[in-house]
Structure 1
């Protein structure tokens, strides 16, 4: 898939008045493999664990605010021999955080310096959010952050986007929404946002400029 094919946009006028960013996959390289490569001796066993035990579907309930102590009960009962790796999902969650994109943080600072209101909207388990705030200093520079685990609903639910527009002083038709996942971009578009799928810095800068958000200078 080419970069152009990976982008779905809804461009409109007048210029956008706010920007909402996803975090994982845009600013932060979140991936359970960062942790589980330390736990499993080979990639095959690790991938089997992530495909059959601590799966993305299972993780989604954490994003909706279900505590790990509850979400893990069925897994521990069904997989007693994997109790250690399962509990590591909770005990060592910060080890799933990879590097932060310096380019994206620089872009965020330039948007803030130019007076463009910036917000974040993330699928993130509630019980690990305080740790994220303590780890990633750039999070404090957003005017507000909507965290799925704290409100009990996650992207791509329409309720998430409705909550976003009622929690912060933004108008969807005048707000650029940036996410790396196609289903979230489609949902944002359906909710009336000017939506862009993040696939690279050059395309993102162009999209911001097309929407009247100038970020001149080296990013």
Structure 2
């Protein structure tokens, strides 16, 4: 039996992908791919995970791509449309470990602005004794400092 378990959140407990939202905005797959690879990129999004607010992070991007203002703003205004549910197998594992008395924690790259809403998506999150959130700490995985802090 493990002494403790540390869970990630995105795509471990809940399914998250910007494509889930942006395929609704850009029904043509090529246009969706182009937007996510050149405008709202994962490199740009990392700033949210580091603690930069959505408002602060989008301002320079809108200045650079004013024609995409509405789509860029959707990263925040339609944030929850990027989720497609929980992962039942993970929720079951969290419950089984809880029943066995194994301490469980979380470590996630996530904006502090979206943390509480994300935690409401699954009752399994209540089984975690604590969660380290990159947006609160100003550092992200794989920075060794966030792992040290988590431990």
TM-score range, shorter chain: over 0.9
Separation in structure 1 between the aligned mates of residue 96 and residue 119 of structure 2, nearest angstrom = 21
Q: Does 1:74 align with 2:60?
A: yes
Structure 1 unaligned blocks of 5 or more: 1-14, 166-219
> What displacement does 1:137 show?
2.2
Report the structure number with the largest CA radius of gyration.
1
The TM-score normalised by the length of structure 2 is 0.96
1:184 maps to what in 2? none
The TM-score normalised by the length of structure 1 is 0.67
Q: How many residues align?
A: 151
1:198 maps to what in 2? none
Aligned residue for 1:38, secondary structure, equals: helix
Deviations 1:111-164 (CA, angstroms, capped at 9, x unpaired): 010011111111111111111122322211111111111111110001111111
Deviations 1:76-131 (CA, angstroms, capped at 9, x unpaired): 00101100100000111011011211111011100010011111111111111111
1:53 maps to what in 2? 39
Which structure features the higher share of helix residues? Answer: 2
Separation in structure 1 between the aligned mates of residue 122 and residue 102 of structure 2, nearest angstrom = 21
**Superposed, which structure 2 residues align to 1:50-129 within 5 Å?**
50-129=36-115
**Superposed, which structure 2 residues align to 1:139-218 within 5 Å?**
139-165=125-151
1:191 maps to what in 2? none
